[in-house]
Structure 1
Amino acid sequence: MKIEVLAILFMLVVGFSGCISTETPTMSHTSPENTTTQQLTTTKLDKIWVYVNNSEYNVTILVPVNIAKEVEELLANIIIEQIDIAAKEGYSGAGFRVYVLKFPKVPESIKLRVDFSPVLNGTIVTSNTIPSIGIVYDGKVYSGNITIKKPLRKTKADYQLKFSEIKNRTRLGTIFTLGVEVEVFVEKTGDNEWKIFAVWNNETVGGIYYSRG
């Protein structure tokens, strides 16, 4: 009889211990440490693609979500003017094209670059049909591209030359548009060669060589 009672007591103790041991993993599973780990592995969208597509140009750029709306408004309202520049000796000559890009007011929180150059007073001049664009925000640069298609605004500047009158560097004229001045020069580069080029903000923004044969 005593043996049976001891056996029952032993079974009760073992069973009670088993209940305690099965609760321990459950308690550790809901510990604050595990909760924190789950929060760290949670992902959220922090960047978004901004697309602008119209008849004159396309823009694609990846920017932080919190400035996406400002960037979209900025890039959706670009004014582009195409300038065709040519110089001729009689009926033969050479020409090239540049584009003036005018942006609306740039938000103070960001800085804008086109072809790695800062946009001055909301305007920049480039000869590239697919210029790069950079948004500088919070110390980081977010890059994209503008594809220029068919600008509605167009200007032509044609010049007649006499090779004998070309000096080392001769100014042919100045084009005023969208608040910028683009100066056009011709320069003799050889016994039978000259080049015509455009200068904006003291930088050459486009040009072409012509050989007289």
Structure 2
Amino acid sequence: MTYQNNLGHMLTMADAKTLIALFSLWEEQDYGEWVTFTEYQIVDRLDMGMGGRQYQLVRNSLDKLRNTSVVFQEAYEIETAQALYVMISGIASMESTSKYIKEDGVYEIPLEEVYGTLFLEDRNPKNKAVVEKGCEELKSIDIIKEFSFIKEGRSYTKLEIENTDWLKDILGKKDYIRGSGRIKQLTFNDIK
């Protein structure tokens, strides 16, 4: 699945989750030409808890999705490097990064979550190659310094990424992370 936003907005994981909630509601309505819903149904479906902040997140996502075209494609056609880049910047903007970023600054992300971000089936043996190709592309344009797959037992379970100094600097800027109380999503256009 890939998308194009007519206003040039980059979608975040929150937007993707809202889209999945909409697909779920559409399925419940037998895939009709139109889907009807309330903000409450989306917030409830996303299990976000109820409150003004949650409703605002959903409204922001709906505004972005309103101007977005979604295209389903085979997994190898996805702009993997862009999706990985968005995932890296999204992790850096989280309130608690310790789940994914080790003390030395290296990212350690469960492959199951990487595959989910890229909309890849968890058990497909080609997935590792798709992720590897995306990481190689990011490495070739000096976004990440190194990457590796961590094996536990007989299976690869995590992706380890070391960012370049440039990306560390971009992600570490205070106005990027906490500018005026809002978290800004770094977009792939920031590297061009």
TM-score of the aligned structures, taking structure 1 as reference length: 0.23
**Structure with the largest fraction of helix:** 2
TM-score of the aligned structures, taking structure 2 as reference length: 0.25
Flag the structure with larger Rg: 1
